[in-house]
Amino acid sequence: MSTLIPDALIASLKTSQALVVLTGAGVSAESGIPTFRDAMEGLWAKYDPAQLATPEAFERDPETVTRWYDWRREKCAVAKPNPAHLALAELQRAVEKEGRSFTLITQNVDRLHQAAGSRSVIELHGTLWVWRCIRCCQEREERQVPFAQYPPKCACGGNLRPGVIWFGESLPEEALNKTYQALEECDLFFAIGTSAVVQPAASFLHVARQHNAKTVEINVASTPVSRLVDWSILGHAGETLPELVRRAYAA
């Protein structure tokens, strides 16, 4: 299915001096990773994700919370980058080859952008591949799935927690600083596969608009920002992004 991508957007993409892309769970959906709102299949049907993704939930029930993250980690372990991830990596290469700036900011915790070849990815909400001991604070990448016990334990005996940013926790300062710097210089901003609900990520499009950037949304459904953007493209990221890159940079 060829989604309708306006020529004006292609022209803007080819002349943009500072491109900023914000991705959400919708970009990983075509890799088989449930989006945040529908990450509640089967066993998890009786939980509200926003209730599980909090420090209080971990404090109250570290076994259930770490089982949920390990269930998601197992899905991520078999997931491969999809054409959306690959197209964004190709776009970054094409834009940077012409000496223009490209910033990818993701809300996703699966690291599929990095697996697809994207570089200098800003991880707003951390990653479920890094786990941290709540006693000695030692942090390390845990690629072995599944864990042998819940909650998983550190060598010091402390409980391990996932290295993600939970609701109620502040975002990493460095990630936020880099984000706001990119938004100040941005002249073209994409929001791709995000429900535009979670703060502060949902405010970035407004910041880009305040700096007179043109804005684009790619989503399979409309969101609270669909009526604000310059171009709202209804389509799957895995189809739309490859078409966008082909039309702008067809070899």
Q: Which residues bind Zn ion (CB under 5 A)?
A: 133, 135-136, 138, 154, 156, 158
Closest CA to 237 of 220, 216, 215: 220
The reply to whether 176 sits near ligand BV8 by the rule CB under 6 A is no
Q: Is 140 helix (H, G, I), strand (E, B) or coil?
A: strand
User: Is 100 within 8 Å of 17 (Cβ atoms)?
Assistant: yes
Member of 26, 81, 83, 152 binding ligand BV8 (CB under 6 A): 26
Q: Verify binding: residue 198, ligand BV8, rule CB under 6 A.
A: yes
Contact between 125 and ligand BV8 by CB under 6 A: the answer reads yes
Q: Please enumerate in sequence order all residues whose Cβ is within 8 A of that of 249, keeping only pairs 6 or more positions apart, or say none.
A: 14, 90, 91, 94
The answer to whether 84 and 193 are in contact (CB under 8 A) is yes
Establish whether 236 is a catalytic residue.
Answer: no
Nearest 5 degrees, angle CA 133-CA 136-CA 142?
30
Task: Indicate which residue of 113, 125, 206, 236 is catalytic.
Answer: 125
Q: Which is nearer to Zn ion, 78 or 136 (CB)?
A: 136
Angle between helices 237-249 and 83-97 (to 10 degrees): 30
Interaction mask 210-239, ligand BV8, x per CB under 6 A: --------xxxx-x------------xxx-
* CB 155, min distance to Zn ion, A: 6
Residue least distant from ligand BV8 (Cβ): 26
Strands 188-192 and 214-219: parallel
- With CB under 6 A as the rule, give the number of residues binding ligand BV8: 37
Q: Give 153's DSSP letter.
A: B
Residues with catalytic roles: 125
Positions that interact with ligand BV8 (CB under 6 A)? 24-26, 29-30, 35-37, 50, 53, 107, 109, 125, 164-171, 193-195, 197-201, 218-221, 223, 236-238
